Amino acid sequence: MEGQVIQCLQATLSPDHTVRTQAEDQLRQLFSHPQGGLTLAKLLTSQQVELYQRQMRLLLQKYVDKHWSPVSANFEAPATPIEVKGEIRDLVFGGLSDGEGKIRTASAYSLSAIARFDWPENYPTLLPSLIQLLNNGSPASIHGSMRVIQDFVRNDLSEDQLLPVVQELLPAVLGILGDPASHSPTTRASIVHVFRQVLRMLETIREEHPEAAKSAIDSLSAVWLDAFKQLLAQDAATEIQANWMSINVRVEIFRTLSLYQNAFKTLIAPQIPELIQLALQNLQSLLPLFRAFYLSSEDDAPEPPSPTSDVGMMEDKTGLPELASAIFDLLTPVVRTKSALPSLISGSEGSEAPTQMLEQLVKVVQEWTQVTKENTEEWMEDPNAFVVDEDDDNEQYSVRTCGYDLVGSLIDKWTRPVASVLQKIVEEKVQDAASAKQSGSIDWWKPLESVLALIGGIADDVRDILEEDQEEKRPPAINIGFLFDNVIPGLLGQNETPFLQGRAFVFASQFSSMLNQQLAGQYLSAAVQVLEASDVSVPVKISAVKTIKNFCRHVDPFVLKPFSSKTLHLILPLLPQASSETLYLVLETLRAITSMDDDLLDEQTTRTVVDVLFDVWLRCTNASSDPVTTAIIEENIESISLHPNPSVVSILITALSPKLAATISSPVTDETVHIPGEAVQLANSLLRVRGGPLEAELVATVTRSVMEVLNVTDDMDVIQHGMIHLTLVVRKDCEKLVQWHDAQGQNGINAIFALLARFLAPEFSESGGIFVGELIMHLFRKAGEAIGPVLPDLLRAVVERLKYAKMASFIQTLVLPFAYLFSTEYTSTTIDLLSQMSIAPPSEPTTAFPTLSAPRSALDIVLNAWSETSETVSGSWNIRVSDMGMSKLFVLGGDQRLREVMVKGDLIIDEANRDTIMTRSRTKAHPNQYTQTPFPLKALKLILKDVQSETSGKGKGKGKGKTVDLEIPEDDGDEDWDDDDDLFGGDDEFEFLSSWLEAGGGNENDAQDDDEDLKSDPLAQIDLGQHLTDVLRHAYSSNANGMHEMVEGLTDEEKSILRGVLTL
């Protein structure tokens, strides 16, 4: 059989499509043979088979995934016979010691796949066998076993699986870590990686099993932290020069120490002074190598050695910058801790001074954040890479950004001492740069650029410091004036060093708020001249664009107005030729310019800007889906739509609406299928941020096209953005919809009713209909007279759709219209309508009908769905609607129709789920059970939960209220290191509810809060926090809704919350 498989494997490489397809079919048939997996295992480990054929490891992994165990998500019959499994396991385990590294890797992946299903129950010998290999095997065997372990611990292990790993495996691998003479850096680095993965899993189970997790962590930490310190104390340069891949070991150690700092602060706190010293020693030791391999632009500068680690074992790219980044990542939080204080600061409070270690640390950061040779080459070839790497607002991970974060952390904690260090470094590097330039060094500019970039990277902190110094009439902590007087002006013309020249422009803009009007105008004029010049390099032009954008952010508009028209006409021609990150920067700068000068846009200029924006959008969207470009152009359109000149807005609508309407309606191909959805999204920017009334042309073109395409399309993006569009039009100017008529003579409201029939059909996609509830809710708000005659039918249609709904988010959107009606004066009418509607069960079980029982009332279905999804409603307005409706029904809790509705109550705690993490497999085997609760009691529980979550500062992320933040943050050692306050204990537990109410709870901003239409709604005028409190107090004092009886159904925690509310 092996011979046939080999022939098939060879045939799969045939250039003949027919031969290749037949061979692939034969291999698939092999999987269904009882001996199929065994044959693959024999081929993998056979020394008589060619290496390239033995490397067909993916076949064995695929076989295991499909045929090893029925618990696999991809399982297909037949299952591998038990006796065959044992043979396969033995063969694959033997492959871990194969002489070929690629075969060891293939065997490791396959064995790891098997272990996921079999260990420990059906493969109890796996871990002891791996440990035996680690203790007694050859370097090749150790490598193979570590590959298994590393891949295996990537998956979440249960606490039962984790315990033997902690107790047996980790002690076995520790000796290998400390034996560089016998084991490769790659193997040793993988050991540290495995240890870190185990720490992560212990962190995960710590909440559910605190004692067991603490015991395991404590037992591990002392010996492993000691081993790490010993390894880091060895001279880094000597070790790495001997074996470049030793970098990996140190990178993994520093990343593991970062995990300790993030998750196990108390264990690492005593080690912090020594760790700071070790980190600094590593950076200082490796600095000469960094200069030689990465910074030097000399022709004879050496290249960094190429990595030699196995593919998939470690990162493909690990060098000195990656090591420095890992060190900076550790130090950024560490330097803020109480334990770091003696190492970094001397003197008493109020007269703090930097220690020598702090000076050395800031200086070494400056050295490591210089522009590398690779940076200069890449940035000159790819302007987009330059924009990405040098963007102050992006999250691009690099040694430069990590260094800036570290210095930012330091200056935030130790402001004046760090500022004095920076001032000293500035003076030194200015002098050094002048001397190096005079001596002919081609890299003379790099330290100076690094200093400017470093201070610019913490510009917000520096500006705050200098403003505070000015207010307190103290000498400035950093003399930025020295740079502007003696350094920056001379750099603006340094064409031979474009990155220093560009840095000077950007630096000036970062501190432009500190410049007087005349000097700011001069720098801005210089940036504009760069855009005009034809002999300036691309990086400098990009820096000039960024400079203009920063000036728009930091200086008063009257400083920029003299240059705005010229700047606009220089920026616009850049748009057709720019792409990717450079395009984003130019578009953002365009928005900044047009936003700060209301006189800049007239009718002709507006038309030009709008036409260019649409052409850029169409170019980028035609090439491929480009949501980032669309989003930034949306911001430009929204900005113009808010222009105070009505004629500018009119031109915007006139110029853009027909083009968007045509794009939305255009037929699509496989290559252009994404365009209509992005066109509707862009069209929504014409509506989103402004109020009504809307232009008739907008409704007659864009809205008409949206409704037409919604009638026929199945594209989810088009449907979702289209529903948002209709909702915006309904909210902004419903009367325009009444006035507009389609070709069949029906007005816009009736056309939307026709669309709702499609959206609410059982076969219509739930993902597509995710916004249908909000559309219906706002129709209730704005088109009450038009909806009145069809209200019963519409409500029935929504309930009928709710009957089939599966997705929680879709159920939630369908419930919103009912919550709104319950919150208005139509509460009783809505209850009457729903209680009289009988809903027949579907043909198959659904969420609303888990069993095919008798018909249920619509009220029963709605209240059950609402009770299960109300806690996850998002958007401050939607939350307000839900809470107001819930409180209205709670007040009516004496209504027998509400009392008869039973909904899901509290979790029933039993032996299956007590003190246990309920994984998916456990939940499947032992589904959670819940009590059944009368709806009024459930409403009370939900109201109390909202009150508690808001007052504790642990709200549901809904922006429900302007809350007092009482959540205890992770201790970073900051805030005077006072982390012992018990915020939730004692008699003061509910004083925070009072604070919340006094602060206007219920008014925290989010996008819905900023909407003028929603802010003017009567519901928005209600103080939600006070309202909920009043409802609870009045209900308890009057007992009109039977609240005293409900209290008996509350948990102890809920009763405690209620007591706090009633006794405020």
Residue-wise pLDDT for 81-139, tens only, equals: 999 999 999 999 999 998 888 888 889 989 998 988 888 888 999 999 999 998 887 88
Q: What is the pLDDT of residue 135?
A: 85
HSE-CB for 773 with a 13 A CA cutoff: 27
Q: Is the pLDDT of residue 743 over 90?
A: no
Distance CA 563, CA 592 (A): 13
Q: Is the pLDDT of residue 878 over 50?
A: yes
Give the global pTM.
Answer: 0.82
Q: What is the pLDDT of residue 52?
A: 56
Q: Is the pLDDT of residue 691 over 60?
A: yes
Distance CA 308, CA 310 (A): 7
pLDDT (tens digit, 9 = 90+) per residue, 783-812? 888 888 889 999 999 999 999 999 989 999
Report residue 148 CA to chain centroid gap. 30
pLDDT (tens digit, 9 = 90+) per residue, 991-1001? 444 443 444 44
Mean pLDDT of 38-57: 71
Query: Are 855 and 803 within 8 A, CB to CB?
Result: no
Report residue 98 CA to chain centroid gap. 42
Query: Are 328 and 365 within 8 A, CB to CB?
Result: yes
Mean pLDDT of 631-655: 96
Distance CA 1015, CA 1013 (A): 6
Mean pLDDT of 1018-1043: 90
What SS3 class is residue 903?
strand
Confidence of residue 204 (pLDDT cuts 50, 70, 90): confident
Confidence of residue 913 (pLDDT cuts 50, 70, 90): low
pLDDT (tens digit, 9 = 90+) per residue, 340-384? 999 999 998 878 999 999 999 999 999 999 999 999 999 999 988
Q: What is the pLDDT of residue 938?
A: 94
Domain spans in the chain, listed from the N-terminal domain onward:
1-115, 920-1062
Mean pLDDT of 549-563: 93
- Ranges of beta strands (E only) in 908-951 are 930-934
Distance CA 559, CA 388 (A): 29
Q: Is the pLDDT of residue 875 over 90?
A: no
Structure tokens at 43: 């081929």
Q: Is the pLDDT of residue 314 over 90?
A: no
Among 412, 417, 421, 419, which residue's Cα sits nearest to residue 349?
417
Distance CA 527, CA 573 (A): 16
Structure tokens at 1036: 């308890």
Q: Is the pLDDT of residue 458 over 70?
A: yes
Q: Is the pLDDT of residue 431 over 90?
A: yes
Query: Are 597 and 548 within 8 A, CB to CB?
Result: no
Confidence of residue 36 (pLDDT cuts 50, 70, 90): confident
**What is the DSSP-derived secondary structure letter of residue 311?**
B
Determine which helix (DSSP H) or strand (DSSP E) holds 353, and give its type and residue range.
strand 353-354
Which has the minimum average pLDDT: 179-193, 258-272, 488-502, 981-995? Answer: 981-995
Report residue 1060 CA to chain centroid gap. 37
Distance CA 880, CA 256 (A): 44
Q: What is the pLDDT of residue 136?
A: 83
Query: Are 268 and 261 within 8 A, CB to CB?
Result: yes
Instruction: Please provide the DSSP assignment of 624-641 as one string.
Output: S--HHHHHHHHHHHHHHH
Distance CA 765, CA 722 (A): 14
Q: What is the pLDDT of residue 974?
A: 46
Report the amino acid identity of residue 7: Q
Confidence of residue 6 (pLDDT cuts 50, 70, 90): confident
Q: Is the pLDDT of residue 51 over 80?
A: no
Report the amino acid identity of residue 975: E
Mean pLDDT of 422-443: 96
Q: Which residues pair with 934 in a beta bridge?
A: 902
Q: What is the pLDDT of residue 235?
A: 98
Q: What is the pLDDT of residue 311?
A: 44
Higher pLDDT, 873 or 850: 873
What SS3 class is residue 138?
coil
Mean residue pLDDT of the chain comes to: 87
Q: What is the pLDDT of residue 996?
A: 38
Confidence of residue 10 (pLDDT cuts 50, 70, 90): confident
Q: Percent of the chain at pLDDT above 90?
A: 61
Q: In the chain, how long is the greatest CA-to-CA distance? A: 94
Q: What is the pLDDT of residue 933?
A: 93
Higher pLDDT, 365 or 918: 365
Distance CA 373, CA 377 (A): 6
Mean pLDDT of 651-670: 95
Which has the minimum average pLDDT: 19-33, 64-78, 892-906, 1036-1050? Answer: 19-33
Q: Is the pLDDT of residue 1013 over 90?
A: no
Determine which helix (DSSP H) or strand (DSSP E) holds 889, and give its type and residue range.
helix 876-891
Q: What is the pLDDT of residue 350?
A: 79
Q: Percent of the chain at pLDDT above 70?
A: 89
Higher pLDDT, 1008 or 285: 285
Q: Is the pLDDT of residue 985 over 50?
A: no
Neighbours of 6 (CB within 10 A): 17
What HEC string does 468-480 produce?
A: HHHHCCCCCCCCH
Confidence of residue 1 (pLDDT cuts 50, 70, 90): low
Mean pLDDT of 308-318: 58
Q: What is the pLDDT of residue 997?
A: 41
Confidence of residue 850 (pLDDT cuts 50, 70, 90): confident
Distance CA 675, CA 682 (A): 10
